[in-house]
Amino acid sequence: MDNRPRLFLTTAFLCGVLLTLGFKDFYPDLERRFRRRRAPVNSLAGAGLDPRAQIELEDHTTGDARDGAQDVEVPEGIEACVGNTPLFRIKSLSEETGCDILAKAEFLNGAGGSPKDRVALNMIKTAEEQGLLTPHSGDTIYEGTVGSTGISLASICRARGYLAHICMPSDQATEKSDLLLKLGAIVDRVPPAPIIDPMHFVNRARNLAADHTADPSRLGRGYFADQFENPANWQAHFEGTGPEIYQQCGKKLDAFVAGAGTGGTIAGVAQFLKPRLRNLTIVLADPQGSGLFNRIKYGVMFDTLEKEGTRRRSQIDTVVEGIGINRVTANFEAGRELIDDAIKVTDEEALAMARWLAEKDGIFVGSSSSVNCAAAVRFASQIGPGHRIVTILCDSGTRHLSKFWAQAGNVGGRTDSELDDIIGPGPGPHAYRQVLL
């Protein structure tokens, strides 16, 4: 058999393999040559530039821009830390009552740690605008206070170039006067006295300010801040606290509950919120011994503990500090007609509420905050579930260790407190009226 066809086929196959392998190596170079011939004119040469010249690139961005940083306005001084405090839901009280009980955390104000920071700053700014105070001139600010306003003033005075001279009752917690001294204030602890007595802490501050101004040998002037009567007090809350609550609540709020010492907080907040929330209820939280409860309920400043032979103290008869009073003040009257209701809170209820908040929520506050929360719970039980109530947490319990918390005692390991054991039913509708008749 002739093997030539088979030989031809084998030879052809081998030639095909060799041709394929050779073309694989040759084709990429051929393709590059073809594309180079069809490529457009070099962009640099087309722009009139020498394509062989060395090109230098310049970076015109700043270092901050490369890092992603932005220019921001940094707040100036401790005064910038006053206001815009958080609003949060107190979990235990909300779950127990079925209402959203929200707390304005005023103890987080950055100067003196209370809502009095707002008042102190506004009183000072207003006095500066009126030419009554000049920074770094030796001017001294005098005030009569149970503590919190003095602490706020002492801090902000130092920040703005003033000295502070604080007069306070000697029966207030020593932590307050100790803190005032650390802030560089002069502190007069005077015996508790009626407001008609020249040695009442408010009258003494007023007189000392006048004596300072009248003395030509003393540097600067004396300015009496007068927190009880100064309208800059309630205006601070009208311009700050009220609008903040309004926005933080999403403009949805059923009740605002707060105590009153000078009355500035409840008056200022009420004046802002009432015209905007027509169905809002403003509720005064009043400690035992204070006459404001009856001022709201019956138009008379009187408390059952003021009956002849029952009064134990020259001021209101309660362990609570910072709220409660037995005289009419201009700041309270500025909002009195807007207050719809009042709730009386006993010392026992205030002490028990302080322990409850620490036990259930880890919230450690002072006496006035406890009164506010107790009144908020009482009001929630009256209106029923599904409502939103805002109250104020005024200051930390660290200012009340030697007095209020000394009576409240330690929470210890307890976790089984019941709210019904803390908040009593409250006085009957005729309990206080009977005393007045």
3-state secondary structure of 113: coil
Residue keyed to tokens 């102190």: 120
Model pLDDT, residue 422: 81
Measured CA to CA, the distance from residue 271 to residue 235 in angstroms comes to 9
What letter represents residue 300's amino acid?
V
Strands 100-105 and 140-144: unpaired
Model pLDDT, residue 71: 87
| Total residue count of the chain as it appears in this document | 437
Model pLDDT, residue 310: 42
Q: DSSP readout, 380-396?
A: HHHH-SS-EEEEEE-SB
Give the burial string for 277-291 (b: 16+ CB within 10 Å, else e).
beebbbbbbbbbbbb
Closest Cα to residue 367, out of 294, 318, 412, 416? 318
Model pLDDT, residue 123: 98
Distance of CA 275 to the CA centre of its chain: 23
Give the burial string for 97-131 (b: 16+ CB within 10 Å, else e).
bebbbbbbbbbebbbbbbbbbbbbbbbbbbbbeee
Q: What is the mean pLDDT of the chain?
A: 87
pLDDT tier at 413 (50, 70, 90 boundaries)? confident
Model pLDDT, residue 25: 57
Closest Cα to residue 339, out of 247, 409, 259? 259
pLDDT tier at 220 (50, 70, 90 boundaries)? very high
Q: Would you say residue 35 has pLDDT above 90? A: no
Measured CA to CA, the distance from residue 101 to residue 388 in angstroms comes to 6
Read off the pLDDT of each residue in 55-80 and give the average, rounded to a whole number: 77
Q: CB under 8 Å to 271, separation ≥6 — which residues?
A: 234, 238, 242, 334, 335, 338
Give the C-alpha distances (Å, rounded to integers) separating 301 from 112, 257, 296, 298.
Answer: 31, 20, 9, 9
Read off the pLDDT of each residue in 331-339 and give the average, rounded to a whole number: 98
Query: Which of the two residues, 73 and 393, has the higher pLDDT score?
Result: 393
3-state secondary structure of 196: coil
pLDDT tier at 430 (50, 70, 90 boundaries)? very low
Q: CB under 8 Å to 364, separation ≥6 — which residues?
A: 357, 358, 396, 397, 398
pTM: 0.81
Q: CB under 8 Å to 417, separation ≥6 — which residues?
A: 352, 355, 356, 359, 360
Measured CA to CA, the distance from residue 179 to residue 402 in angstroms comes to 13
pLDDT digits (tens, 9 = 90+) for 235-293: 999 999 999 999 999 999 999 999 999 999 999 999 999 999 999 999 999 999 999 99
Helical residues (DSSP H) of 227-346, grouped into ranges: 232-236, 242-248, 264-273, 292-297, 330-333
Model pLDDT, residue 414: 82
Read off the pLDDT of each residue in 182-211 and give the average, rounded to a whole number: 96
Sort residue 309 into left (φ over 0), alpha (ψ -120 to 50) or beta: left
Q: What are phi and psi of 357, to 5 degrees?
A: -60, -40
Cβ atoms of residues 121 and 79 within 8 Å: yes
What is the sign, positive or negative, of the torsion defined by CA atoms of 147, 89, 248, 391?
negative
Residue keyed to tokens 């026992």: 348
Residue keyed to tokens 């940094």: 74
Q: Would you say residue 44 has pLDDT above 60? A: no
When mean pLDDT is compared across 34-38, 309-313, 384-388, the lowest value belongs to 309-313
Model pLDDT, residue 174: 92
pLDDT tier at 309 (50, 70, 90 boundaries)? very low
pLDDT digits (tens, 9 = 90+) for 145-187: 998 999 999 999 999 999 999 999 999 999 999 999 999 999 9
